[in-house]
Amino acid sequence: MTSKTIIVITGANSGIGYEAVKALIGSEKPYHIYAGARSLDKLEAAIQSLGDTGKHTLSPFQIDLFSDESIKAAYTKVSSEVDHIDVLINNAGAAVNTGPTRESLLQDYNVNVAGTYVVTDVFLPLLIKSSEPRLLFLTSGLSSLEEATQTTSPRYITPPAGWPKPAGVSFIGYRASKVALNMVMVDFTRLLAKDNVKVWCISPGMLATNLGGNPEFLKKLGAGDPALGGIFIKDVVEGARDQDVGKVIRRDEVQLW
């Protein structure tokens, strides 16, 4: 295992996380991947569906971003088996599509910001021992403050007058949590500069995942295949966007703040 790049990824049982694992085990570079998810049963089924991983190895682990105890237990498992990790991919996220209630706002923030921060904080002792440490956060195109004010943007939706607004026109919980996550990335870039950690926010574009609610409906809106996000993550892991460290990056550009 020592000759393999060691990766920890959360939310790996479906969507972009699963596709990232799939892309990585298709690489010429050898990886040992710690794949995490809330449900071990679903995760193990997902891993089994990948078939023969060849020179790559996969190790499933349970992790729930709502629980600090779960995060610490995940760290204990990984740290008992390896003395470092090379890449931490914070992929797990939440998008509560029940309207802008206090509960939904807090749930999105709890997973996308607080839980992700704790995962990073807990795993950093292993990450900074790598000779080439990389730290990735999965954000969203909806987190761009500049684009949010552009009336020509496809993400700019003006609903009819009156209150409350129709369902499906407010993304404030998810959007605000991802804006906050971008700041988490910026601060970790500063904090880890002398530890030589390369840090990014990955903005994969609108993809047809369960996170957005109904994948088939999202496809009708033009959402792409989640595999595009997985390939993007693999490319960043393998150095394709090293010139854009400390930024929010899309597959073909740097995202506006």
So what CATH class is 5-249?
alpha beta
3-state SS class at 21: helix
Separation between Cα atoms, residue 33 and residue 157, nearest integer Å: 40
Alpha carbons 68 and 121: distance in angstroms, whole number: 11
Could you read off the pLDDT of 183-197 as tens digits, one per residue?
Answer: 999 999 999 999 999
For the whole model, what pTM was predicted?
0.93
The 8-class DSSP code of residue 89 comes to E
Model pLDDT, residue 132: 98
Choose between 226 and 129: higher pLDDT: 129
Q: Which of 65-79, 91-105, 198-212 has the highest mean pLDDT?
A: 65-79
Residue 121: CA count within 13 A, CB half-sphere: 12
Helix axes 226-237, 15-24, angle to 10 degrees: 50
Structure confidence at residue 99 (pLDDT): 67
**pLDDT tens sequence across 54-88:** 999 999 999 999 999 999 999 999 999 999 999 99
**What DSSP character marks residue 192?**
T
Would you call 77 exposed, middle or buried from its count of C-beta atoms within 10 A (0-12, 13-18, 19+)?
middle
118 vs 185: CA distance, rounded Å: 13
The contacts of residue 208 (CB under 8 Å, 6+ apart) are: 215, 216, 218, 219, 223, 224, 225, 226
pLDDT for the residue numbered 61:
98
Question: What are the angstrom distances between the C-alpha of 206 and each of 28, 33, 149, 185?
Answer: 28, 26, 19, 21
What share of the chain in percent tops pLDDT 70?
Answer: 90
Q: What are phi and psi of 95, to 5 degrees?
A: -145, 95
Nearest to 140 by CA among 119, 150, 155, 124: 155
CA 22 to chain centre: 15
- pLDDT on residue 112: 97
- Is the pLDDT score of 220 beyond 60? no
pLDDT for residue 56: 97
Catalytic site residues? 140, 174, 178
11: nearest Cα among 84, 109, 88, 104 = 88
- Mean pLDDT of the residues in the chain: 91
**pLDDT, mean of residues 118-145:** 97
Gap between the Cα atoms of 201 and 238, Å rounded: 15
Of 113-127, 155-169, 229-243, which gets the smallest average pLDDT? 155-169
**26: region left, alpha or beta (phi > 0 left; psi from -120 to 50 alpha):** alpha
More confident residue, 171 or 240: 240
C-alpha Rg value of the chain to the nearest Å: 18
